[in-house]
Amino acid sequence: MDNCIVVTGGAGFIGSNFVNAWLQQGLGKVINLDKLTYAGNLENLSEVQNDKNHLFVKADIGDREVVARLLKQYQPRAIINFAAESHVDRSIHAPDAFIQTNIVGTFHLLEEVRAYWSALTDAAKEDFRFLHISTDEVYGSLSASAPAFKETHPYEPNSPYSASKAASDHLVRAYHHTYGMPMLTTNCSNNYGPYHFPEKLIPLVIHHALEGKPLPIYGDGSNVRDWLYVGDHCSAIRRVLEAGKIGETYNIGGWNEMSNLDVVYTLCDRLDALRPKSKGSYRDQITYVTDRPGHDRRYAIDASKIERELGWKPAETFETGIQKTVAWYLDHQTWVDHVTSGEYQQWVGENYQAREKA
Distance of CA 148 to the CA centre of its chain: 20
3-state secondary structure of 40: coil
Instruction: Show the DSSP H helices in 44-93 as ranges.
Output: 64-74, 88-93
What Å distances lie between residue 72 and 62, 69, 80, 114, 184, CA to CA?
Answer: 16, 5, 17, 12, 22
Q: Rounded CA gap, 310 and 284, in Å?
A: 44
Q: Is 137 a catalytic residue?
A: yes
Distance CA 51, CA 232 (A): 23
For residues 37 and 330, give the distance between their C-alpha atoms in angstroms, rounded to a whole number. Answer: 25
DSSP string, 136-195: GGGG----TTSPPBPTTSPP---SHHHHHHHHHHHHHHHHHHHH---EEEEEE-EEESTT
Give me the catalytic one of 63, 85, 89, 136.
Answer: 136
Alpha-carbon distance of 21 to 19, in angstroms, equals 6
34 given a catalytic annotation: no
- 2 by DSSP, 3-state: which? coil
Which listed residue (161, 250, 282, 329) is catalytic?
A: 161
Are 346 and 279 spatial neighbours (Cβ–Cβ below 8 Å)? no
Distance CA 81, CA 93 (A): 25
136 is catalytic: yes
DSSP H or E stretch at residue 304: helix 304-310
* DSSP per position, 232-281: HHHHHHHHHHHHPPTT-EEEE--S-EEEHHHHHHHHHHHHHHHS--SSS-
Cβ-based neighbour number of residue 285 at 10 Å: 19
How far apart (Å, rounded) are the C-alpha atoms in residues 153 and 249?
11
Among the listed residues 60, 112, 137, 169, the single catalytic one is 137
CB 81 within 8 A of CB 8: yes
The residues carrying an active-site annotation are: 136-137, 161
